[in-house]
Homo-oligomer: A and B are copies of this chain.
Amino acid sequence: MSLPTRKIAIFGGGTVGGGIVEIIGKKQDYFKELTGHGIEVVKICVRDANKKRDFNIPAGCVVTTDYDDILDDDSIDLIVEVMGGTTDAKDVVMKALSKGKDVVTANKALIARDLPQIEAKLKDCPGVEFRYEAAVCGGIPIIRSMQSDFPGDDIEMISGIINGCTNYMLTSMDKGGKSYDEALSDASDLGYAEADPTLDVGGFDARSKLRILMRLAYGIDVDEEQIACKGITDLSKLDFQYAKMMGGTIKLVGVAKKVGGDSVAAFVSPCYITSDDSLASVNGATNAVEVISSNLMASTYIGQGAGRYPTANSCVNDIVALAKGDKSPMPFNPAETSKKFVNNYESVFYIRIKYNDGLGITRQCGEICEKHGVSIHSILQNPVTKQDDNAFVLITEKVSLESVEKVAKDLGELNWCNGPTFIMPVLREDWVQAMAD
């Protein structure tokens, strides 16, 4: 075939950019057979043109520090944005689209913040394509799956382990018996945690991704700040002991689910999950997304959430799909735009309460739960080993988050209560119940 070569420029010559250059270099003959087009990286824009790169610049490829060298070059018809950040990245993406260039990006922050604006822009750029597979869960093809596996389906619930740093930490607390601080320090040493790990351990990175997934699953745009977000900072070894006692483990999960009518609830929180859940064996920095839907029932995608080659591979898949001429379905889920976001949901909850010895503890717990309409399913208590680590756990029946938060607040005000109580949902317990009904 003699189709024209797709001339590509990459913004960003770092980890991911280098991976893309390497993969294209290695597979260019095959890509040509597959798509009919040669695929050639002709320009790379970097901050410092003199910096030594850990990959070979292809013969004939120009390294520049000037965005316009690429944006004004009409021979380039596809740009890959892997420079990170949101200010310049957004400018570059918007200008490239205006100039009729297809865009592939791996920039989660940009997508989480500006996808609606980018999609609006695309309406004025007929025939121009925009792809962002690598922006959520690196190597897991979750964007394409959400767009291609579910058009005829109705998504009930998405639950995902979508932050590698915290999953590494929780695995190491669970399997390795590490403390929170030890686990964080290990994650930093391995490069999984940022210098300021707040975005990871606070659940905020997971929340950004959840918001993108919600847009794909339900066609709704939620202000990120509205999504309840609890990180892993309040988890202790104790909680893993209780989880083990209950036969499962704890994972930081982003959840979005239909809650009757046209409402969708969502949260990021540590969750208790049973050991036979697909998410339970997702360990280390691995990511996973499970989708519950009417047709497909349960579908799980497990893979690498970050890293040079997994992320670069997703960018390359976007490039190949565009070279092959595939059109992106966009806007996705237009029929679903009537969905409403609500900040409440029902679940079985785990409430862990630390206490100092005293009289009337059981009675007061019972009274407070009764007052807020919270039925107690069971009370668990490990043998007390250290006097300052006294704790017990209430497992509730299926109740609303709102009511269980009131219980936690009231318990926290009692004088035998030693520090704030810790609440987390029991994942899918409610779904299992619903199926059994």
Q: How far is the CB of A158 from chain B (nearest CB, A)?
A: 14
**Contact between A310 and B295 (Cβ–Cβ < 8 Å)?**
yes
The verdict on A74 contacting chain B, using a C-beta distance below 8 Å, is no
Would you mind naming 11 contact pairs between A and B with Cβ atoms under 8 Å apart? Answer: A23-B295, A30-B151, A33-B334, A276-B283, A277-B281, A278-B282, A281-B281, A286-B298, A294-B309, A298-B302, A300-B303
- Residue interface mask A11-44, B partner, CB < 8 A = 1: 0000000010001101101110111000000000
**Contact between B152 and A23 (Cβ–Cβ < 8 Å)?**
yes
Q: How far is the CB of A34 from chain B (nearest CB, A)?
A: 5
Q: How far is the CB of A53 from chain B (nearest CB, A)?
A: 19
The verdict on A103 contacting chain B, using a C-beta distance below 8 Å, is no
Contacts of A299 in B (CB 8 A): 139-140, 301-304
**Contact between B139 and A295 (Cβ–Cβ < 8 Å)?**
yes
Q: How far is the CB of A348 from chain B (nearest CB, A)?
A: 20
Q: How far is the CB of A87 from chain B (nearest CB, A)?
A: 30
How distant is the Cα of A358 from the Cα of B239 in the complex, in angstroms? 51
**Contact between B335 and A329 (Cβ–Cβ < 8 Å)?**
no
**Contact between A303 and B298 (Cβ–Cβ < 8 Å)?**
yes
The verdict on A148 contacting chain B, using a C-beta distance below 8 Å, is yes
Of the candidates B27, B295, B310, B335, the one whose C-beta lies within 8 Å of that of A151 is B27
How distant is the Cα of A313 from the Cα of B403 in the complex, in angstroms? 39
**Contact between A327 and B327 (Cβ–Cβ < 8 Å)?**
no
Q: How far is the CB of A41 from chain B (nearest CB, A)?
A: 13
How distant is the Cα of A26 from the Cα of B30 in the complex, in angstroms? 40
Chain B residue nearest to A153 in the complex (CB): B313
**Contact between A34 and B151 (Cβ–Cβ < 8 Å)?**
yes
**Contact between A139 and B310 (Cβ–Cβ < 8 Å)?**
no
- Residue interface mask A308-339, B partner, CB < 8 A = 1: 01101100110011001111010011110000
Contacts of A321 in B (CB 8 A): 148
Q: Identify the interface centre among A24, A145, A281, A327: most chain B CB within 10 Å of its CB.
A: A281
The verdict on A399 contacting chain B, using a C-beta distance below 8 Å, is no
Q: A298-B286, A326-B327, A335-B29 are in contact. Are A24 and B152 (CB under 8 A)?
A: yes
How distant is the Cα of A141 from the Cα of B286 in the complex, in angstroms? 20
Contacts of A329 in B (CB 8 A): 34-35, 324
**Contact between B151 and A316 (Cβ–Cβ < 8 Å)?**
yes
How distant is the Cα of A30 from the Cα of B333 in the complex, in angstroms? 8
Given contacts A35-B329, A149-B317, 16 further A-B contacts (CB under 8 A): A23-B295, A29-B335, A31-B151, A34-B151, A34-B329, A140-B299, A141-B148, A148-B320, A149-B313, A151-B317, A276-B283, A277-B281, A296-B303, A296-B309, A301-B302, A325-B327
Contacts of A332 in B (CB 8 A): 34
The verdict on A275 contacting chain B, using a C-beta distance below 8 Å, is yes
How distant is the Cα of A329 from the Cα of B317 in the complex, in angstroms? 12
Of the candidates B26, B148, B297, the one whose C-beta lies within 8 Å of that of A139 is B297
Contacts of A286 in B (CB 8 A): 298
The verdict on A144 contacting chain B, using a C-beta distance below 8 Å, is yes
A interface, size bucket: 35 or more
Of the candidates B33, B139, B152, B304, the one whose C-beta lies within 8 Å of that of A27 is B152
How distant is the Cα of A307 from the Cα of B320 in the complex, in angstroms? 33
**Contact between A335 and B30 (Cβ–Cβ < 8 Å)?**
yes
Contacts of A294 in B (CB 8 A): 309
The verdict on A280 contacting chain B, using a C-beta distance below 8 Å, is yes
**Contact between A152 and B313 (Cβ–Cβ < 8 Å)?**
yes
How distant is the Cα of A361 from the Cα of B329 in the complex, in angstroms? 66
Chain B residue nearest to A283 in the complex (CB): B276
Q: How far is the CB of A295 from chain B (nearest CB, A)?
A: 4
Chain B residue nearest to A325 in the complex (CB): B327
Q: How far is the CB of A64 from chain B (nearest CB, A)?
A: 25
Q: How far is the CB of A216 from chain B (nearest CB, A)?
A: 13
Q: How far is the CB of A333 from chain B (nearest CB, A)?
A: 8
Contacts of A148 in B (CB 8 A): 141, 144, 317, 320-321
Contacts of A303 in B (CB 8 A): 296-300
**Contact between A296 and B313 (Cβ–Cβ < 8 Å)?**
yes
Contacts of A304 in B (CB 8 A): 296-299
Chain B residue nearest to A313 in the complex (CB): B295
